[in-house]
Amino acid sequence: MQVRHSWLKWIYFFLTVLGAFLIVSSVWYDLTHHLTRPADWRSERLNEVNGVFLIGIPWLIYWRHLKNGRRLPSYNQPIVWKISEEGFEIDDATSKTFIAWNGLIKIIVRQDGILLYPQKAMLYWVPLTAFASPAEFDAATRLIPANRIAKK
C-alpha cells in the first residue's frame, strides 16, 4: 500500500500499532490470568476483535479506493494531450479540458517529463515516454512560454 500524505501514514501506523497492542495485551492477559469465566472470556475477545479491526482499517480503505477507481468510465482508457502555444488540452474517454499557460501556477520542465501545476497541491505529469520521440518532447517544451517555466 502506498500512501502519499505523511499525516495519513502516521494515522495508519497508529491504528496498526494500537490494534497490535490490543491483540497482544489481550493474549498476554489470557496467558497470565488463566481466564475460566465466560463473561471475562467475551470481554477479552472484544479487545482482540477491535485489534483486528484497527489493523484492517487502512487496508479496507485502500481496497475500497482501488475498487471505486476501477469503476470510473475513464479507467484504463487512453489520454490524449494536445500542447499548443495557447496552452494544453487533455482529452480522455469522458471529458475534454483546456488549460491556458497563464492558468498554471508553476511549470517545471525536467529531462524525464513536464510537471504542470494548475493548483498548489495538484499537478499533471506528462512523462517523456508520452511523446513519440525526444524531438517531439523538445518541440513541446519550446511551445511553453519561457517566462512561465519555474527555475529549479
d(CA 5, CA 74): 25
Which parts of the chain are beta strand (E)? 80-83, 87-91, 96-100, 106-110, 113-119, 122-127
d(CA 137, CA 140): 5
CA-wise closest residue to 105 among 86, 90, 89, 124: 124
Q: Is the pTM here over 0.85, yes or no?
A: no
Give kind and range of the element (H or E) at residue 62: helix 38-70
Per the CB < 8 A criterion, the answer to whether 89 and 79 are in contact is: no
Q: Reduced to 3 states, what is the DSSP secondary structure of residue 48? A: helix
Domain 80-148 has CATH 1.10.1070: no
- Encode pLDDT of 22-38 as tens digits: 888 877 777 776 655 55
Joined together, the cell numbers standing for residue 33 give 490470568
**pLDDT higher at 73 or 83:** 83
d(CA 120, CA 117): 7
Domain residue spans of the chain: 6-70, 80-148
- Encode pLDDT of 103-141 as tens digits: 999 999 988 999 999 988 889 899 999 899 999 999 999
